[in-house]
Structure 1
Amino acid sequence: MTSAPAARASMDAGRALPPPVLVVSIVSSYLLALHPGTLPRDATTTAVVTSGFAAVGAVVGMLLSRWASRRRPHPDTQTRRVVFGAGVLIAAGGAGLSVWWQSLIRAAVGAPPVGPDWWVAATVAPAAAVAAIVLIPRVTAVIAASAVALAAGLLAPADAGADRGQPSPRTIVVSEFGTLLRGELAAPEFDHPAERLVRSWMHSGGLAARAVIVAVPTGSGWVDQAAVAGFVDRFDGDVRILTLPYADVPSWKAFISDDATATESSITLVRELAKVLANRPAGDRPRLVLYGQSLGAVGADAARVWLEDHHPSLLAETVLTAPPAGTVAQASRTPRIVVANRSDPVVRWSLGSLWRPPAYPDDTVLGGRRVPEVPWLPVVGFLQSSVDLLAALDGPTGVGHRYGTEQARPVSGLPR
């Protein structure tokens, strides 16, 4: 028979286990953090995400357990043991499935396999965060607040693509190949810069070229050089590419603060270009192609709509690369292609994906590396796409938000 002191010790140990509602809250949050995305995650990102989600679950669970303790007696020892044991097993199973999924994604994109550091980040880091919150909540709260304040002052979202190293000039610049003509930055006034850019295009022999590409840049004025190379190759070098900057800040800042400038600048430029092209016979003018990537795709699609309403015969085609979800029209009246990598979170991310699955435009062509995908879930899908944004620019061409010369492909059925 079990002695009385041993029985009391066993009961005390059982009461020392966390309340069931706290265990359920922590494990649920932890599983949300481990829900699969479409891009590999390094150990640091994994540690931050799992620890953050588990910490939120711990705080919510503590509040719920305090509220529940006022309404009903404390759970018995056996219930605590069963729920705690089940929670540990479920969390361990979730970690194992997460490693398996990471292995699939990494193999698909050619990334190194998961290492011991990833295991530590996915298990030890969140466990330590939960233990700190549950055992020393006040000290942990002070440390967490200090860390958040420090991070807010030192960290900023990453720039889009290769924005770095290609600043927006204030004067017209012609590339060394003579194909890319970059207008001056004079936002919010676009009329005069657009006029001067079109004149520069005409003086460079643009009217005699096979095509003229209006490339709407990203927020920093960047135009993907892979797309430039693709259009040069497609038209055998007989092409001019015009781009008019509308801001000189990272794209995410331009998108948040005033994405209308991308629309205004692109419409102004095509309006000036149309004044010249409309006066020439259809067989004696270059093909007009609209192109934009990311935030630039928003401006390019707006220019497409304007041309369809005012000069539909001038527009040959529109090429949009990775437009943010829900920012361009679902369909087009003129030839259009929307290029998107299967693993790109930018084309899936929007606040609307909190409650509905993301929808691609009708003329979307999915490319890039094939990666395993899981069914969309409300809230969870949005959260995981948000995390994937952190690594969207880390992979090679064809992975995440990285694109190559395939952007310049013609719309199906049109000549090269």
Structure 2
Amino acid sequence: MASPAPTSAHTGRHLPHPVLVISVVVAYLVALHPGTLPRDAMTTTVVTTGVTALGAVIGMLLARWVSRRHGQPDGQTRRVVLGIGVLVAAGGAGLAVWWQNLIRAAVGAVPVGPDWWAGATLAPVAVVAATVVVPRVTAVIAAAAVALTAGLLTPASAGADEGQPLPRTVSESGTLLRGELSAPEFERPATRLVKTWRGADGLSARAVIVAVPTGSGWVDPAAVTGFVDRFGADVRILALPYADVPSWQAFISDDAAATESSIALVREVAEVLQGRPAGDRPLLVLYGQSLGAVGADAARTWLEDRHPGLLAETVLTAPPAETVAAESDSPRVVVANRTDPVIRWSLSSLWRPATTPDGTVLGGPRVPQVPWLPVISFLQTSVDLLAALDGPTGVGHRYGVEQAHWVTGLPR
């Protein structure tokens, strides 16, 4: 006797559970949510496959829980949800490529190529399929891949410049006077640096710039060039290192060192300047980039409280989000590229958009912006940090001589 033909309710039972499909598609769209910087093929592959695979794992767990409580969905439901999911994922991939090309065009980069397409589509499909079919084997392979990738993808370390080795004694290079690294003690290095500045005829210059370095002890040569141009080469720039690791490591381990070193240096400088008539002393300017901006703003607050009227201007370049005061009682300008993820990254951006301090001047190319979304925007900004130093001047965390030309309170 012939068996009855399967009904539409029973066909398609081999298809993925609707909960699994929804979880994978949502994770895939989260992974494709754009940032503000171009992404290379490798970064795109890692992000899309990693986030989508996580969505698959969560979906499998949720599908089991739903099936135990409500039973297995019929084949028709599986087919409909899978079909809609494929269409939504395909539309999201197409939109992501279009948006990526908009960003690339804005910053002068070439359009995405086949490797980018493959990383954004084929790689996630393969990993999700493997996760569902052979989850244990996939987990072992994924762990090895994460360990390998962790050594390749590191946050942007602004200032990790081997061309500026940190001195153990005070050194002079043109207009830039660099103190020795002697953390966590900053008083004696600051005293020796100021003594060198005075001996280099610093009190007769038009201006003295206290430049707070990045975590690696690096001072942006473009900023030095900008200040020299701004003051007609009649300027001295003082920099006191406080660490010799990339800024992001210093920020996590001991961001207070930037504050302590900058205050120690401005205390010594202020004592010297206060002993001279107002019309017979250099203009005092504070400057800091990245983590250095945090120290420079702390020094600004200290000077406003103890030596009001002594500080001419503060220039902060790309301070990390939520790390400097929202307002200033003395002239201050905050310089930031529109595409710089550093100015938007903070843990609080998980649940609210980052705010910009008063006096912020945005530069660099205009790129399309997407609305802020909780958690998702934080994730994408974190990914953007990986490539923050890969672009030309004006893109991401790269700045030029213009940062020193924003000193609005001083004569040009």
Establish whether TM, by shorter chain, passes 0.5: yes
- Cα distance, 1:151 vs structure 2: 4.3
Matched, 1:310 2:306: yes
Contact 2:160 2:246 in 1 (8 A): no
What letter matches 1:115 in structure 2?
A: G
Unaligned runs of 5+ in 1: none
Counterpart Cα distance in 2 of 1:5 and 1:398: 70
State the AA in 1 paired with 2:89.
A
Q: Where in structure 2 are the equivalents of 1:318-337 lying within 5 Å?
A: 318-337=314-333
* 1:189-208 deviation per Cα after TM superposition (whole angstroms, max 9, x unaligned): 11110011001001111000
Partner of 1:237: 233
Change (3 A) 1:364 1:158: closer
Aligned to 1:273: 269
Corresponding residue for residue 200 of structure 2: 204
Q: TM-score, normalised by structure 2?
A: 0.97
Q: 1:103-158: per-residue Cα shift (whole Å, max 9, x none)?
A: 10000000011111111010001001100100000111111223334445676544
How many Å separate the matches in 1 of 2:189 and 2:409? 35
> Which residue, 357, 361, 370 being the options, matches 2:357?
361
Alignment of 1:8-407 (within 5 A): 14-152=12-150, 156-175=154-173, 178-407=174-403
Seen in structure 2, the aligned counterparts of structure 1 residues 271 and 406 have a Cα distance that, compared at 3 Å, is: same
Matched-pair contact (CA < 8 Å) for 1:167–1:248: no
Contact in 2 for aligned 1:392/1:401 (Cα 8 Å)? yes
Conserved? CA contact 1:51–1:129, under 8 Å: yes
Indicate the percent of aligned positions where both proteins have the same amino acid: 76
Aligned-pair CA distance for 1:254: 0.6
SS across alignment from 1:313: coil
* Alpha-carbon shift at residue 322 of structure 1 (Å): 0.1
SS of 1:39's equivalent in the other structure is coil
Which amino acid in the other structure matches residue 82 of structure 1?
V
Say if 1:385 and 1:393 are closer, same or farther in 2 by CA, change over 3 A.
same
Given that residues 335 and 360 in structure 2 are in contact (C-alpha distance below 8 angstroms), is that contact kept between their aligned partners in structure 1?
yes
Q: Distance in 1 between matches of 2:23 and 2:249?
A: 35
Shift of 1:73: 1.6
Deviations 1:259-292 (A, max 9, x none): 0000000000000011110000000000000000
Report if the CA contact (8 A) 1:20-1:79 is conserved.
Answer: yes
Q: What do residues 210-268 of structure 1 show as CA deviations (whole Å, max 9, x unaligned)?
A: 00000000011000000000000000000000000001111111100000000000000
Query: Quick one: distance in 2 between partners of 1:5 and 1:91?
Result: 36
Tell me which amino acid in the other structure corresponds to 1:55.
Answer: A
Q: Secondary structure of the residue that 2:168 maps to in structure 1?
A: coil
- Is the 2:176–2:236 contact (alpha carbons within 8 Å) kept by the matching residues of 1? yes
2-structure distance, mates of 1:46, 1:189: 43
* SS of aligned partner of 2:39: coil
Q: Is residue 211–residue 288 contact of structure 1 (8 Å, CA) maintained in 2?
A: yes
The one-letter code matched in structure 2 to 1:174 is E
Distance in 2 between residues matched to 1:126 and 1:268, nearest whole Å: 52
Structure 2: runs of 5+ lacking an equivalent: none
The normalised TM-score by structure 1 is 0.96
Deviations 1:84-118 (A, max 9, x none): 00000000000000000011000000001111111
Q: Which amino acid aligns with 2:70?
A: R
CA distance, structure 2, for counterparts of residue 6 and residue 52 of structure 1 = 41
Whole-angstrom distance in 2 between the partners of 1:6 and 1:223: 77
Structure 1 Cα separation of the partners of residues 61 and 100 of structure 2:
33
What residue in structure 2 maps to residue 7 of structure 1? 6
Matched AA of 1:128: A
2:84 is paired with a residue whose SS is helix
Provide the aligned length of Structure 1 versus Structure 2. Answer: 411
Aligned to 1:330, the other structure's residue is in SS state: coil
- 1:312 partner SS: coil
How has the CA–CA distance of structure 1 residues 384 and 315 changed in structure 2, closer, same or farther, with 3 Å as cutoff?
Answer: same
Query: For 1:5 and 1:237, how far apart are their aligned partners in 2?
Result: 93
Counterpart Cα distance in 2 of 1:149 and 1:70: 35
Answer yes or no: is the 8 Å Cα contact 1:163–1:250 preserved in 2: no
Counterpart pick for 1:412 among 390, 408, 411: 408
Distance (whole Å) between structure 1 residues aligned to residue 179 and residue 162 of structure 2 = 18
Asked whether the 8 Å contact 2:9–2:74 carries over to 1, the reply is: no
Q: For residue 391 of structure 1, what is the amino acid of its counterpart?
A: A
1:415, distance to aligned residue in structure 2 (A): 1.4
